[in-house]
Amino acid sequence: MGALSIRDVRKSFGTTDILKGINIDIEAGEFLILVGPSGCGKSTLLSLIAGLESITSGEIHIGGKLVNNLSPKDRDIAMVFQSYALYPTMSVRQNIAFGLEMRKVPKAERDATVARVAQILQIEPLLDRKPAQLSGGQRQRVAMGRAIARNPTLFLFDEPLSNLDAKLRVEMRTEIKLLHQRLGTTIVYVTHDQIEAMTLGDKIAVMKAGELMQFGTPQEIYDQPVNMFVAGFMGSPPMNFIPCTVQQQSNDYGVELETHGQRYFLTLIGGEKLKSSLGRDVILGLRPEKISHPGEAHQASHIATRLRTKVEILEPTGADTLVVVIVNGKKIVCRVHPKFAKAPGESIELGIDSSNSVVFDPSSEARIV
C-alpha cells in the first residue's frame, strides 16, 4: 500500500456536497499536486487529509494506516500554510521546535533537529528572530522548517507560494523541488497555479466542483486531457478550441479549417476513431506551440498543414511571440519564433502540427480522440 490512499472520499456541509467521491493513490516519495480553480474542493480535501475537518464518508489511509478517526497530531503529517501561520510571539527557533516539544522530545534532541533543519534551509542567522522581523521568503522557509523538523510520513502544502511576489515564487518553487529530491518525502501540494502544478508534480489531480477530473503525470495531463476543462486549465497560454466538422478526404479523417476565405484540410491522427463522428460538429484542441512558423516538419509530414492568414494581435514574450489569428471564426493563439512574427494586419504563413491534437464532443466536453 502507498503513502497516501484516498478512497471514495465525500464531504458535505448540510445539503451542499463539497467533495463528490474522490479516489487518489500515491506511492511513498511522490509529489502529488491538487490543482483546480477556486471552490473546486482542493483545500477541503487537504483539510480532510490533515484531519482538520471530518469526512462525511470514504476512507483515508496514510502510510497504510486508516486515519479517519485520528486527530491531526496522530496522523504523522506536517503542514505548510498559505499564511505561513508562524507563532508570532515565538522566535524562529521556538517555532521550529514547538511540534517536537509538544511531542515531548528531549531538549538536546530538539536543539540538534533545529540546527539540522536550519542548515538545510540556510536560516541559521534567523533563529533568534521573531516572525515579524522576517521577509516573506524567510517566513516561507521557517514554515517549511517547522514541517521538516518533525520528519513526518506526509507533508501537506496549502498554496504555500501564493503570498510571494512573482520572482520569489519561482525561486521558492525550485527550492521546494530541490528539497523534495533531497529528502525524498511524500508531499501533497495544493495550488491553483497550473505552472506550479506542472513543474513540481510527479502526479497531478485536476479537480473541478468537488470532482476529480483527471489524475496522472504532468505530461499525461498536458498531452492527453480527458475533457475540455482539463485541456483549458493546464497550459499557458491555454489550448485553442476550434469548432469544426469531421470530414473525410480519400482515406484520411480530419477537420476543415477556414480563415480569410481560404479552406484547408487538417488530417488528424487516430482518425479511424473519428469515422463514427463523420459529419458531426466537434471541438478541435490544439496547443499554441503546435501552430507555429512553418518548418520542415510541416512540409514532409502527412499530419501537418500550412495555412495563410492575417495577424490580429501580437504578444511578444521574449523567447516566443504569441500571434493571434482567426480560424473558423475563433481567436487562435499561435506560438512562433520572434523573427517570423508579423505586424498586426499583415499576412502570415503558419504550420499546424496535428500530432498531439485532441478532439472533444461539444456538448459533453469529453474527449473523443
Partner 1 sequence: MSATTAPGTNRVARWFVYAVLLLACLYYLLPLFVMLSTSLKSLDEIRAGNLLSLPKSLNFDAWAKAWGTACTGVQCEGLKGYLWNSIRFTIPAIFISTLMGAITGYVLAWWRFKGSNVLFGLLLLGCFIPFQVVLLPMARTLGWLGMANTTAGLVLVHVVYGLAFTTLFFRNFYVTVPAELVKAAKIDGASFFQIFGRIILPISIPTITVTIIWQFTQIWNDYLFGVVFSSGEQQPITAGLNNLVNTSTGVKEYNVDMAAAVIAALPTLLVYIVAGKYFIRGMTAGAVKG
Contacts of 306 (CB under 8 A, 6+ apart): 264, 294, 298, 299, 349, 350, 351, 352
Residue closer to partner 1 by CB (options 132, 300) is 132
Question: What whole-number distance in Å separates Cα of residue 326 and Cα of residue 48?
Answer: 46
Shortest CB 149 distance to partner 1, Å: 10
Closest CA to 269 of 252, 257, 282, 287: 252
Compute the least distance from the CB of residue 192 to partner 1, in Å: 17
Q: Residues 8, 37, 57, 73: which binds partner 1 (CB under 8 A)?
A: 73
Closest CB 163 distance from partner 1, rounded Å: 9
Complex with partner 1: residue 50 or 327, whichever CB lies closer? 50
Residues 79-138 that bind partner 1 (CB under 8 A): 79, 81-83, 85, 87-90, 98-99, 102-103, 131-132
Strands 77-80 and 154-158: parallel
Pick one of 50, 118, 148, 350: the residue that binds partner 1 (CB under 8 A).
50
Question: Closest distance between partner 1 and the C-beta of residue 160, in Å?
Answer: 11
Q: Measure the CA–CA gap between 218 and 315, rounded to whole angstroms.
A: 26
The span of 36-44, 74-82, 244-252, 307-315 binding partner 1 (CB under 8 A) equals 74-82
77 binds partner 1 per the rule CB under 8 A: yes
Stretch 145-184: interaction string toward partner 1, x if CB under 8 A = -x---x----------------------------------
Nearer to partner 1, 96 or 221 (CB): 96
Q: Which is closer to partner 1, CB of 152 or CB of 351?
A: 152
Q: For the CB of residue 98, give the shortest distance to partner 1 in the complex, in Å.
A: 5
Stretch that binds partner 1, among 66-74, 114-122, 256-264, 289-297 (CB under 8 A): 66-74
Q: Smallest Cα–Cα separation from 182: which of 110, 243, 121?
A: 121
Of 79 and 284, which CB lies nearer to partner 1 in the complex structure? 79
Q: Nearer Cβ to partner 1, position 84 or 253?
A: 84
Instruction: Note the residues at the interface with partner 1 (CB under 8 A).
Output: 50, 52, 71-73, 77-79, 81-83, 85, 87-90, 98-99, 102-103, 131-132, 146, 150
